[in-house]
Amino acid sequence: MTAHAPDQPAEPHSGTHGPLTGTLVVDLTRALAGPHAAMMMADLGARVIKIEAPGSGDETRTWGPPFVKGQDGQDVATYFLSCNRNKESVALDLKSDDGREVLTALIQRADVLMENFRPGTLDRLGFSAERLAELNPRLVLLSISGFGHDGPEGGRAGYDQIAQGEAGLMSLTGSGPEDPQRVGVPIGDLLSGMYGAYGVLAALLERERTGRGQVVRTSLLASIVGVHAFQGTRWTVAGQVPRAQGNHHPSIAPYGLFRCGAGSVQVACGNESLWRRLCTEFGLDPDAEGMATNAERVAHRELVIAALEEAFAPQTGEEVLARLAAAGVPAGKVRDLQEVYEWDQTRSQGLLVDVEHPTLGPVQLPGPPLRFFDHDGAEVTPTAHQSPPLLDEHGPAVRDWLQPG
């Protein structure tokens, strides 16, 4: 069995269709980083076959509560539903001859193989990078690890909260230097998945020129360091060690969360024009001592916060937001997730999708964050999505598809 030609569709597949239709991804990943990368590919039309352990499957099938009870009486973890839409599930014991045989056949047909085992695990299963290249020279392999595949700590297990701490993110997050906080979502996992999918797409593009695949590697450590942005250069260039300072920007003022008489508002004055509009609207002197320039306002941040909160105090958050909008000053509220998903703007961007789950029936999931349009302005975003699969739901069909002839 040989790898399918570039123009041969990786069907049969009843999932979504899009820019990656005809691309076959074999997904050996579990938990969140790798599944998120594979789901990004699936959202774009790739056929993604998720390989799971027989009996138990991806561990996120048991991560809860919350669980939702299906029509068969089985609990379904909402965690698993969050990162496995548009995939097929096949249960394989990769330590068995049968499991390795089926995986080999899939690899020979695949465009992409994704894994997030601890470094060295795939080699021990008999699928080293060299063996994969022998089976399919066009294969792109994505490997995601916790702290990198080499280096003095390359073998460490990777869990998001540990990586958030080790990669410095928690030191930047919280009310102050003595209050390190994790980000409210597993951001290291999600970023690793995003960077991984980005690397895979680049490798697939290069394959069009070279005819050969390659290995793409990223890690939770690399992905978090990769988004340090200006906080990173504060240390590497200026020699300053950034610390958490709550809900206010370390380099721009006013830029943060401000209390009102009832409620709060977020304000972002990214330039002097916006600062002056804000001052005009609320009767403040933009050139007062310590406030005339952004550098002065950052140095006297507490003074700026106190002045704005005093100006906002007679009004509710909604009233302050209305005045800021009228003045053309960027501002917003802090919404909970119920408010976000019920917001007309969220729905207008296609950020909720309806799927039919095999045991839950109709459910709504957070949707893909990309939209596509042709040059005439017509939207061509994929809109048909498939529910995250039951364990081994597609095993028999995939095995039949792999049979020669």
Quickly tell me which residue has 């001592």 as its tokens.
289
Residues 6 or more apart whose CB falls under 8 angstroms from that of 134 comprise none
Cα–Cα distance for residue pair 258/12, rounded to 1 Å: 54
Quickly tell me which residue has 């579990």 as its tokens.
30
Residue 123 designated active-site: no
Cα–Cα distance for residue pair 83/60, rounded to 1 Å: 9
Q: Are 360 and 76 in contact (CB under 8 A)?
A: yes
Q: Judging by DSSP bridges, how do beta strands 140-145 and 215-219 pair with one another?
A: parallel
HEC states along the chain?
CCCCCCCCCCCCCCCCCCCCCCCEEEECCCCCHHHHHHHHHHHCCCEEEEEECCCCCCHHHHCCCCEEECCCCCEEEHHHHCCCCCEEEEECCCCCHHHHHHHHHHHHHCCEEEECCCCCHHHHCCCCHHHHHHHCCCCEEEEEECCCCCCCCCCCCCCHHHHHHHCCCHHHCCCCCCCCCCCCCCHHHHHHHHHHHHHHHHHHHHHHHHCCCCEEEEEHHHHHHCCCHHHHHHHHCCCCCCCCCCCECCCCCCEEEEECCECEEEEECCCHHHHHHHHHHHCCCCCCCCCCCHHHHHHCHHHHHHHHHHHHCCCEHHHHHHHHHHHCCCEECCCCHHHHHHCHHHHHCCCEEEEEECCCEEEEEECCCCCCECCCCCECCCCCCCCCCCCCCCHHHHHHHHCCC
Q: Which entry of 189, 285, 287, 374 is annotated as an active-site residue?
A: 189
Size of the chain, expressed as the number of residues it contains: 405
Catalytic residue positions, numbered: 189
